[in-house]
Amino acid sequence: MKYSKATLKLNINVRKAIQLATLEVDGLQRIDYSVDWSNFPNSLNMNATLAQEPCANNTLSAEETDAINKIIQRCFLKFGIKFRDIRKNISLQINQN
């Protein structure tokens, strides 16, 4: 599939924002994403995988989830990507290894 220049730029910015988020959030191992570029950024679905260490009981409190979401959202804002409600676009899970 051939992408337009705008789509390529958005894809690069998404990848840069994800890389920045993995550096800024303690315990964040990776973020996998899927997107439909015709409905961006509402169609951007991300699965963030956290290391098990920061979470003693394998669950995140609402405050921890909100804090992580805010950091990730701030990383995306640095690259010009703004979400209406990031909670609809991201799911957090703890690595069970």
Domain boundaries, the chain: 5-94
Read off the pTM.
0.84
CATH classification code of 5-94: 3.30.300
> Could you tell me how many residues make up the chain?
97
> Is there a contact between 23 and 17 (Cβ–Cβ < 8 Å)?
no
Residue 19 or 62, more confident: 19
Q: Looking at residue 57, what is its pLDDT?
A: 62
Cα dihedral across residues 52, 83, 2, 19: positive or negative = negative
Mean pLDDT within 18-30: 91
Residue in the structure block whose two tokens are 């789509």: 7
Distance CA 37, CA 44 (A): 8
